[in-house]
Amino acid sequence: MDCLITTNRQGGTTRAGGAPGYLTLDLSALARNYERLAAEVAPARAAAVVKADAYGLGADRVAAKLYAHGCRHFFVAQFAEALRLRPLLSADAMFFVLNGLQPGNEDACAREGIVPVINSLEQWQQWASAAQALGRKLPAVLQFDTGMSRLGVPPEERSALASLLEAESGIDVLFIMSHLASADEETSEQNGDQLAEMNRVAAAFPQFPVSFANSGGIILGKAYHGVLARPGIALYGGAPTAGRPNPMEPVVRLDVAVVQTRTVPAGTRVGYSGSHVTAETTRLATIAAGYADGLPRSLSNRGAVYHDGIRLPIVGRVSMDSITIDISALPEGRLKLGSLVEVLGPHQTLEDVARHAGTISYEILTGLGHRFERRYR
């Protein structure tokens, strides 16, 4: 398929082969982002958060690449994600399940050497029972809620947990952790509040090292790093801090193919419900991606795509499988059947698309569908 694609000066593609679109993932940029974050947190270690198929980019390729660049700690959300990735990496790679275990997964988890994050006393008891039944120690990470009310042992259960820790449980706690709710907002006072709470937890459980920072937390500074940082979005090129220049390298590029072009007179309705009506003679192109491919319907009449650096606004509603764009700004005949337009790339970042769609980069990235052809550089 590669031989059917021509490459332009920016390294992007201008013409499609047979695919409706190309999701191009720059694994070297991913590795450089990892190394940059690892250097930032040194002497602490940097893990990689590869949940949700590495934010939609392909967890097997991402994990293998990061392993080759020294990463040994991989966080997923669900046990099934760890189960799939575990055999792909050497035994010294560790997999942590952020949501902890659903009842019934304990034996498989123990057998595969996957480490659950224990979020509640109930999960602790289940993991302790599994250890007892197997007659051996089982590893775990302990998560504390420091102010997000999402996952982790709440403050009022800390003393009960301390008692459980004193008894012989068969659980080997590797480290304790918590998660920041506002790390991407530098000036949020929630960061300092959570840090103070994390320090209280660390003082109450001084026998364990701490893991705290996500991407944004790394940028907040040393106090947030603990011994193991857990970046996700920044690895994949997303901005770790809102409203600041993004220090990370872009990893993802998305080009989508044109499937039809037309010229319409003034007063022509475009798309479902005719929500756009042309003001003058307009050249339009329809491209082969829609909300089923992860380009949200909220981009209707708002977002844009690019070609040769020229902005081509989205006109009318985003459909399930297609979007119509106004290509009047381009020379006539420039775009034809099979031409590619840039959705994500040098002229439009993830954050740009997210802003137009009224969401965050995470949701755009994890939503990019599976109908694009993936290419790894």
Ligand X SMILES: *Cc1c(COP(=O)(O)O)cnc(C)c1O
Largest CA distance in the chain: 79
Using CB atoms, what's the residue nearest to ligand X?
A: 232
Contacts with ligand X in 94-153 (CB under 6 A)?
A: 98
> Distance between CA atoms of 215 and 291, rounded to whole angstroms?
28
CB count in 10 Å sphere of residue 279:
9
Q: Segment contacting ligand X (CB under 6 A): 156-164, 209-217, 312-320, 334-342?
A: 209-217
- State the minimum distance, in angstroms, from the CB of residue 318 to ligand X: 26
| Residue given tokens 């390298």 in the structure block | 249
Query: Which is closer to ligand X, CB of 228 or CB of 341?
Result: 228
Tokens of 357: 């769609």
| Active-site residue identified among 51, 65, 236, 291 | 51
∠ CA 200-51-57, nearest 5°, is: 140
By CB under 6 A, is residue 316 in contact with ligand X? Answer: no
Length of the chain: 377
* Residue 122 Cβ vs ligand X, minimum distance, rounded to whole Å: 19
Least distance from C-beta 142 to ligand X, angstroms? 13
Task: Return the range that interacts with ligand X (CB under 6 A); candidates 12-20, 230-238, 254-262, 322-330.
Answer: 230-238
**Would you say 22 and 8 are in contact if contact means Cβ atoms under 8 Å apart?**
no
Stretch that binds ligand X, among 63-71, 79-87, 103-111, 232-240 (CB under 6 A): 232-240
HSE-CB at 251 with a 13 A cutoff on CA atoms is: 28
From the CB of 150, what's the least distance to ligand X, in Å? 8
Q: Are 7 and 190 in contact (CB under 8 A)?
A: no
Q: 44: Cβ–Cβ under 8 A, 6 or more apart, which residues?
A: 225, 226, 227, 228, 229
Out of 29, 38, 48, 49, the residue judged to bind ligand X by CB under 6 A? 49
Tell me how far, at minimum, the Cβ of 165 lies from ligand X, in Å.
Answer: 21
Residue among 116, 232, 303, 345 that touches ligand X (CB under 6 A): 232
Site membership for ligand X, residue 225 (CB under 6 A): no
Contacting ligand X within 233-262 (CB under 6 A) = 233-234
Is 312 or 368 the residue whose CB approaches ligand X more closely?
Answer: 368
Nearer to ligand X, 161 or 177 (CB): 177
Cα–Cα distances in angstroms (integers) from residue 321 to residues 121, 251, 295, 316, 375, in the given order: 46, 24, 10, 14, 21
- Is residue 231 a contact point for ligand X (CB under 6 A)? yes
Taking the C-alpha atoms of residue 1 and residue 18, their distance in angstroms, rounded to an integer, is 8
Tally the C-alpha atoms within 13 A of residue 366's C-alpha that lie toward its C-beta: 14
Residue 214 found at the interface with ligand X (CB under 6 A): yes
Residue 51 annotated to the active site: yes
Distance CA 2, CA 153 (A): 50
Footprint (CB under 6 A) of ligand X, residues 18-37: none
- Would you name the residues annotated as active-site residues? 51, 272
List of residues contacting ligand X (CB under 6 A) = 49, 51, 98, 179, 214-216, 230-234
